Amino acid sequence: MYFYAILFLFLNFPLKVLGKDEPLSIEQVSAQISTFMKSGPTGTISTSVTSSSMLSGCALACSFLNFALPGEISYPNSTTYVYEESLYWSTQQAITSPTCRFTPTCTSDVSLAVLTVQVTQCQSAVKSGGHAAFTGASNINGGLTIDLLKLNQITVSPDKTQTFVGPGNTWFDVYSQLEGEGLSVIGGRVSGIGVGGLTLGGGISFFSGRYGWACDNVNTYEVVFADGTIHEVSYASYPDLYFALRGGGNNFGIVTRFDLVTFPQGDLWAGSQTFIYDNVTAAALNEAFYYIDENSMVDPYAQAILAYAYVQSIDTYIIASDLQYGKPVANPPILQNFTSVPGAVANTLRITNLTGLTQEFNASNPSGFRQTYWTLTTQNSATLIADIVEIFMQEVSTIKDADAVLPSISFQPIGTDMISHFSKNGENALGISAADGPLNLINIVVSWSNEADDERIMAAARNLTDRANATAYAQGLGNRFIYQNYAALEQDVFEGYGEENKEKLRVVSERYDPKGVWQKLQPGYFKVNP
C-alpha cells in the first residue's frame, strides 16, 4: 500500500528545484509534493480555492509535475494536448481525455512521474506510437498519460551492430534514418506504428524469417522500475526480467530505450496483388499460403500475408496477397505459387525500400476510425482457411450496412524459420516452440465510424473469433497462442503463452513490482497479475 503520502504530509521540506538528472527516492518525492501542497509553487501560503493544498489524485500529480518540470505537462484544449491526442490511431483512444498529458524529455523525468503517481494515487497510461486500438490501452480518462514522444533518439553504434532507439519514435523515423546507411532493424510493417508497444508485445517484421520477432532483437532495454530506479536490462544483467520484456507488454516497467540488433539491408521486392473474391482464386491462394508456411525455411527472405476484406462501396469481397522478399530480386521462386494465381485486378509488386513499403501500408491503414482487433492461432491448413473465411462472410453479413464499415481477416505464417529465432538469448515469453510450428496467425480487424454500431460489430468480431477457434479445435488444428499486439482486451493473452510462462511472468512481476504499481496504477492493457 501507499503510506508515503500520509507519512510525509507532516514533514516540512524546503521546496527546491528537483534534480533533472538523478532520480529521486519515493520519500524525497513525497516530501516535495507535501511541501508543494502547503506552500504552492511560489512558496507563499495560498488561500485561493484553486491552491495546490486543495488538490488530490491526478489534479495534484499534474500540478506538481507542471511545477517540477515546467513545459512537460499539457491540459485539455491546449495546443500540445490536442496535438498529442490526434496521434492515436483509433477514435476510441483519441477521444479518451486524461486530466493531463505528461511529455518527458529524459529518463529521470519518467522516473519522477512514476513516483508522483504513486504518492498521489493517480492512475496512468503510457503511450509510444498509440496504435493499440481499444479504449485505455495507452490513454486514460481522468488519469495521467505519459506520452513518450520526446524520447526520440536514434543513434547507431560506432560498429553499426546496434541502434539505440527511444520509444518516442515511429518505425518510419527509424527506417528512414537507417536506410541512408544501408542498415535496418526488426520492427513494424506500417510506418506509423510506435517502437514501444510493437516491440514489447512481440513484433512481426518483413525480415522475421531471418531474425525472429522484434522482441528477439533487443540487446538491452533501459527500464524505469516501479520504485523509480533506472536499469539496463539485458540477458546477462537480469535474465528473468529480460525474458519477461520479450512479450510481456506494459507489465514490467517503462522502457525508455531499446538497443536494437542492426544489420545490413538494401532494397527489397514487395507489394500487394488484389483479386476480386471467387472460390477458385481463394482456393489457389489458400494453397499458396499453406506451402509457403510449410516451406518457409527453404528461403527465409520471403514473407506473405493473405487477407480477405469486404469492400462496402462495391458490396464485394476482395483477397489481397501481400508479398515481400528481402532482396531486390523480382518474383523469386519461393513466392511463385502466389504470383502465378491469375486474375489480379491490382498489383503493386516492385523493387522498393522499407520506408516506401511501410508508407504504402500506412496509407492503407488510415487513422481516424473506430477500430477493433481480434486474434487466434491455428495450425497450417488450406481448407481450414476456407472454412474460416466462410464464417467471416457469415458474420460480416450481420454488419455490412454499418457506416464506413471495413472488416478484414488476415492470415500470416509463423513458420519454423521464424520460430527458430524465438530461443535466442534464452527464449522469448510467447510460449511457441519448434514442435508447434508451422502456425497460422489470424488477425481480425474491423473499422467503422458510427458509435451506434459498436455493440453489434464487437459481437460479430467476437463470434467470428470464437467460431473460427472452435472450428480449428474441432478439426484437431487448434493452437493456444493469442498474439498480444492483435488481441482484443477481453482475450486472455497470457493464458495463450501456456501455464508455465504465465506463471513465470507473474513471478517476475511480483519480484520487480512488489506493490503492483504496473498492475493497479496503470490499469490499461493486458495484465500478468491483475
Ligand X SMILES: *[C@@H]1O[C@H](CO)[C@@H](O)[C@H](O)[C@H]1NC(C)=O
| 460 binding ligand X? (CB under 6 A) | yes
Contact flag: residue 469 with ligand FAD (CB under 6 A)? no
CA dihedral 516, 521, 522, 526 (to 10 degrees): 50
Q: Which three cell numbers stand for residue 261?
A: 540488433
317 binds ligand FAD (CB under 6 A): no
Pick one of 37, 59, 204, 461: the residue that binds ligand FAD (CB under 6 A).
204
Q: Point out which span in 20-28, 227-235, 351-359, 445-453 binds ligand X (CB under 6 A).
A: 351-359
Q: Is 426 in the site for ligand X (CB under 6 A)?
A: no
How far apart CA 107 and CA 229 sit, in angstroms, is: 10
CB of 13 to ligand X, least distance (A): 32
Q: Does 137 bind ligand FAD (CB under 6 A)?
A: yes
Nearer to ligand FAD, 15 or 173 (CB): 173
3 state SS of 119: helix
Residues that contact ligand FAD, how many (by CB under 6 A): 34
Helix axes 171-179, 354-363, angle to 10 degrees: 150
d(CA 516, CA 172): 34
> Which residue, 200 or 460, is less far from ligand FAD as judged by CB?
200
Residue 514 binds ligand X (CB under 6 A): no
d(CA 289, CA 209): 15
Closest alpha carbon to 328 in 347, 353, 346, 291? 353
Contact 307, 411 (CB under 8 A): yes
DSSP sequence for 147-201: EGGG---EEE-TTSSEEEE-TT-BHHHHHHHHHTTTEE-S--SSTTSBHHHHHHH
Q: Does 197 bind ligand FAD (CB under 6 A)?
A: yes
Q: Tell me whether residue 138 or residue 217 sits nearer to ligand FAD (CB atom).
A: 138
Residue 459 interacting partner from ligand FAD, ligand X, none (CB closer than 5 to 8 Å by kind): ligand X
Interacting positions 238-297 with ligand FAD (CB under 6 A): 249-250, 254-255
Among the listed residues 392, 373, 358, the one whose alpha carbon sits nearest the alpha carbon of residue 468:
392
| Nearest one of 329, 308, 312 to 412, comparing CA atoms | 308
CB 460 within 8 Å of CB 105? no
List the single partner that 331 binds among ligand FAD, ligand X, none, CB under 5 to 8 Å by kind.
Answer: none
367 binds, among ligand X, ligand FAD, none (CB under 5 to 8 A by kind): ligand X
Q: Is 463 in the site for ligand X (CB under 6 A)?
A: yes
> Which of 114, 334, 409, 430 is in the footprint of ligand X by CB under 6 A?
334
End-to-end CA distance of the chain, in Å?
A: 15
- Number of C-alpha atoms within 13 angstroms, CB side, residue 469? 18
CB of 38 to ligand FAD, least distance (A): 33
CB of 403 to ligand FAD, least distance (A): 20
Return the residue of 90, 191, 220, 380 that touches ligand X, per CB under 6 A: 191
Q: What are phi and psi of 205, to 5 degrees?
A: -120, 165
- If one asks whether residue 398 binds ligand X (CB under 6 A), the answer comes out as yes
Site for ligand FAD (CB under 6 A): which residue of 101, 189, 246, 504?
189
Q: What distance in Å separates the CA atoms of residue 313 and residue 140, rounded to the nearest whole number? A: 35
Is residue 443 part of the contact set for ligand X (CB under 6 A)?
no
* Binding partner selected for residue 172 from ligand X, ligand FAD, none, CB under the kind-specific 5 to 8 Å limit: ligand X
Backbone angles phi, psi at 231, to 5 degrees: -135, 150
Q: Which does 35 bind (CB under 5 to 8 A by kind): ligand FAD, ligand X, none?
A: none
Concatenating the DSSP letter of every residue in 383-416 gives: HHHHHHHHHHHHHHTTTTTSTT-EEEEEEEEE-H
Does the footprint of ligand X cover residue 231 (CB under 6 A)?
Answer: no
Is residue 280 involved in binding ligand X (CB under 6 A)?
yes
Q: Which spans of this chain sit near ligand X (rule: CB under 6 A)?
A: 76-77, 170, 172, 179-180, 191-192, 279-280, 283, 291-292, 295, 334, 337, 353, 355-356, 359, 362, 366-367, 376, 395, 398, 456, 459-460, 463, 465, 469, 473, 478, 480, 482
Q: Which spans of this chain sit near ligand FAD (rule: CB under 6 A)?
A: 89, 125-132, 137-138, 148, 167, 188-190, 193-194, 196-198, 200-204, 249-250, 254-255, 365, 485, 524-525
